[in-house]
Structure 1
Amino acid sequence: MRINYNVSAMLSNNALSTNDDLLSKSLERLSSGLKINHAKDNPAGLAMSKRMNAQIEGLSVANQNASDGVSIIEIADGAMTEISEMLQRINELSVKAANGTMTDDDRATIQDEVAQLKEEITRISDTTEFNGQKLLNGEFDLKGYTDKQEIKVNYCSPDVPVKEYTIQSMKFKKDAEGNFEVDGDIKFGDGFKEVEPLKTDMKDNLLTITGTNGFEMRLDVSEAKEGDSYDGMKIDATGIGAMRLQIGANEGQVLEVNIPAVTLQNMGIEDIDVNTQEGAKDAISRVDGAIKYVSSVRGRLGAFQNRLESSINSLDVTSENMTAAYSRIMDVDMAEEMTSYTTYQILAQAGTSMLAQANERPSQVLQLLQ
């Protein structure tokens, strides 16, 4: 028996210290509910879980962004619903004014109502907004530019390929009412060849160029100079300008929503006048085109809304699965950990008891000295 070095006590103390450390870690996991509380617990798992957590938080915000996009489309669609109703009323008035039983005074009265409806359509187009951003004035439409100051790109359909186009020859003249019309034929150059055959239409100083595969481009020539030749004019279709909705947690996961301008000029009813029977007949045709235009814009926005709602559903599912994966890495199994805690607690109690016994052993030497 030895009294200078109590090896039994040292062994018991080491075992007690180890069990006490395990008990402390188990208590930390049970109190926090996390399997990984420090980087040393699982370095690789911690790195993976933090990336997953960033994705989960990003998906939550992306879901909110998509919901905001749905709200924007609903606001725009609600405004265009009212515009459609007013176009229907203008159509009714045009049909009435085209009737031979109407006098000039009757048509003048009808024209007054038509003028008021047009003003209200313009007001709605200028004031419909979301979060201070106007929606129907073309602010979020695809942009294009020309190298001629007098000619502006009014509209490019989403099917217009992003590149540079050339008009070899183009000239305008004014009609009896002071509106521009094409003087001669327009000759198209580079860029347009791929979408031939091409058709052109001039209405309310808007030159509409249509081609195959949904190609449509409108040029505003209201500031053109009569008799000037716009030979070799370059048109740059940028493909940008749409509202970019961040609907994913990573860079580039966006949906671009383009909202064309819903204006009198774009609808082709800026200059309708039902003061005469001929004007009323022309108005019927123009309003029909305006109704088709608004319906096409609403249809496109409806398709965007369907995509956004599908994105929201997809984000919800992805977030659920990502959270489940994150939980499997980070969350502790409480039942399993409680079992381990009970084991460590018993071992700690046993270690404490045995350390007390080991500390008593040297005192037994006194019995030999009696």
Structure 2
Amino acid sequence: MGMQINTNIAANNTYRNLTATQNDMSKSLEKLSSGLRINRASDDAAGLTVSEALKSQVGGLTVASRNAQDGISVVQTAEGSLSEVQSILQRVRDLAVQAGNDSNNADSRVAIKTEVTALTKELTRISDSTNFNGTKLLAGGADLSFQVGANSDASSQITVKLDSANVNTVVNALGGKDAAGAALTGAVQNKGFTVATGTATTVTIAQTAGKTPTAIVIASTDDNAAVLAKLQAGVGTDFTVTADATKAGQYNVVSKDATLTDTTANLIAVSGTGVVNGQVSSTADKALDFSTAAGAAAAIAVIDKQLATVSTARANLGASQNRFESVVKTLAVSTENLTAAGSRIRDTDMAAEMVKYTRSSILVQAGTAMLAQANQGNQGVLKLLQ
């Protein structure tokens, strides 16, 4: 090679290598200072895509875990209040059992009724005041949905049903009202039907004070299948119409509820022609009556039904709480594993990167020294010019 001064090939070559080494050293410094192997997409485009997806999953699962813990808090709040509701119902039942003893005089029964009334008001207060973040839990509100996963699919959500945890229905039952709060007059369903076939009709409705209606008895002078068919069409599918085998022209309309029977001892007579409005029910719970032993016995049956309802509601909430606790544990494991997966992709191996940095640092120093030598190489031309 000839001797030139305009172009220093050795210096250019050394400078190119030094620049590349300095870039490597700069990247190593960035990774060592940030702790991240991927600081920009150019570091690892595919790895960045995967790590960002994992980062989203980890973030979502972290929030979902907090949501599940909030769900536990909601369930605990509702179930705790239901525990007191059950305690109150147990006390009311004890009072009903006490009222069933005829050793009580009228004043004693009034005192029992006074305490029951106060306890019923407390049930209403519990229903109105039990809430979580402003959402009433025991007033028959809508079901609550909890996001316990990082995605939008159904498996990431849990629904807690609050329909069975409705204390208002308990209060209504104790006060002789239906589920909607309307006062019961011995019946829930009002059935209108026509039985007149040109002759007068006598209707006997099962409705007496303090009694739950059990049947309607229709007496007609026309003893034929047409009357029977009209009766069945009139009362609907909740009741069965049969012809009385012992009394011509009499038809019994009986609830299909197996717990009710056709007991004529509790019937009163209402006569009329044309359209007759019959009131029949298999679910009417009258207001609790402690004035007689019979009324107290009936009250015990009503209270037992409500106790069973509250127990079922508490069991459902307990199952939901156990489910939330399992969710929290599952999310913790998933979060840990996904975090580890993201770390393996994105985090810097500090030991390995320090080796690279040390190598680059030495090469930079060597390259700088060699560039100085290369710059001195062409100065030999000056001796030729002397």
TM-score, normalised by the number of residues in structure 2: 0.68
Q: Deviations over 1:277-314 (max 9, x none)?
A: 22111111111111111111000100000000000000
Superposition pairs for residues 70-89 of structure 1, below 5 Å?
Answer: 70-89=72-91
Amino acid at match of 1:245: F
1:266 CA displacement: 7.3
Residue 298 and residue 267 in structure 1: after superposition, are their counterparts in 2 closer, same or farther (change >3 A)? farther
Amino acid at match of 1:244: S
Distance in 2 between the 1:87 and 1:108 partners? 18
Contact 1:267 1:290 survives alignment (8 Å) = no
Residue 266 and residue 105 in structure 1: after superposition, are their counterparts in 2 closer, same or farther (change >3 A)? closer
Distance in 1 between the 2:24 and 2:46 partners? 21
Distance in 2 between the 1:247 and 1:341 partners? 44
Alignment partner, residue 320 of structure 1: 336
1:267 CA displacement: 7.5
Task: Structure 2: give runs of 5+ residues left out of the alignment.
Answer: 176-286
Amino acid at match of 1:347: L
Alignment partner, residue 243 of structure 2: none
Q: Deviations over 1:299-345 (max 9, x none)?
A: 01000000000000000000000100110111010000000000000
Alignment partner, residue 34 of structure 2: 32
1:44 aligns with 2:60: no
Among residues 66, 69, 73, which one is paired with 1:67 in the alignment? 69
Structure 1 segments of 4+ aligned residues over 3 angstroms from their partners: 264-268
Q: Deviations over 1:68-102 (max 9, x none)?
A: 00000000011011111111110111111101101
Alignment partner, residue 163 of structure 1: none
Distance in 1 between the 2:139 and 2:371 partners? 84
1:13 aligns with 2:29: no
Among residues 71, 94, 97, which one is paired with 2:96 in the alignment? 94
Superposition pairs for residues 255-266 of structure 1, below 5 Å?
Answer: 255-260=158-163, 261-265=166-170
Distance in 2 between the 1:62 and 1:276 partners? 56
1:365 CA displacement: 2.1
Distance in 2 between the 1:256 and 1:107 partners? 45
Distance in 2 between the 1:295 and 1:268 partners? 16
Amino acid at match of 1:360: Q
Superposition pairs for residues 1-370 of structure 1, below 5 Å?
Answer: 1-140=3-142, 242-252=143-153, 253-260=156-163, 261-265=166-170, 268-270=173-175, 271-370=287-386
Task: Structure 1: give runs of 5+ residues left out of the alignment.
Answer: 141-241
Distance in 2 between the 1:335 and 1:69 partners? 44
Identity of aligned residues (%): 46
1:125 CA displacement: 1.1
Contact 1:97 1:274 survives alignment (8 Å) = yes
Contact 2:123 2:171 survives alignment (8 Å) = no
Contact 1:9 1:355 survives alignment (8 Å) = yes
Distance in 2 between the 1:272 and 1:247 partners? 44
Distance in 1 between the 2:148 and 2:379 partners? 76
Secondary structure of the corresponding residue to residue 167 of structure 2: coil
Contact 1:63 1:315 survives alignment (8 Å) = yes
Contact 1:246 1:254 survives alignment (8 Å) = yes
1:274 CA displacement: 1.1
Distance in 1 between the 2:169 and 2:12 partners? 94
Count of residue correspondences: 269
Instruction: Please provide the CA RMSD for this pair.
Output: 1.2
Secondary structure of the corresponding residue to residue 272 of structure 1: coil
Secondary structure of the corresponding residue to residue 145 of structure 2: strand
1:64 CA displacement: 0.7
Distance in 2 between the 1:267 and 1:320 partners? 50
Amino acid at match of 2:174: I
Residue 99 and residue 136 in structure 1: after superposition, are their counterparts in 2 closer, same or farther (change >3 A)? same
Larger Rg: 2
Residue 248 and residue 267 in structure 1: after superposition, are their counterparts in 2 closer, same or farther (change >3 A)? farther
TM-score, normalised by the number of residues in structure 1: 0.71
Secondary structure of the corresponding residue to residue 111 of structure 2: helix
1:263 CA displacement: 2.2
Contact 1:267 1:293 survives alignment (8 Å) = no
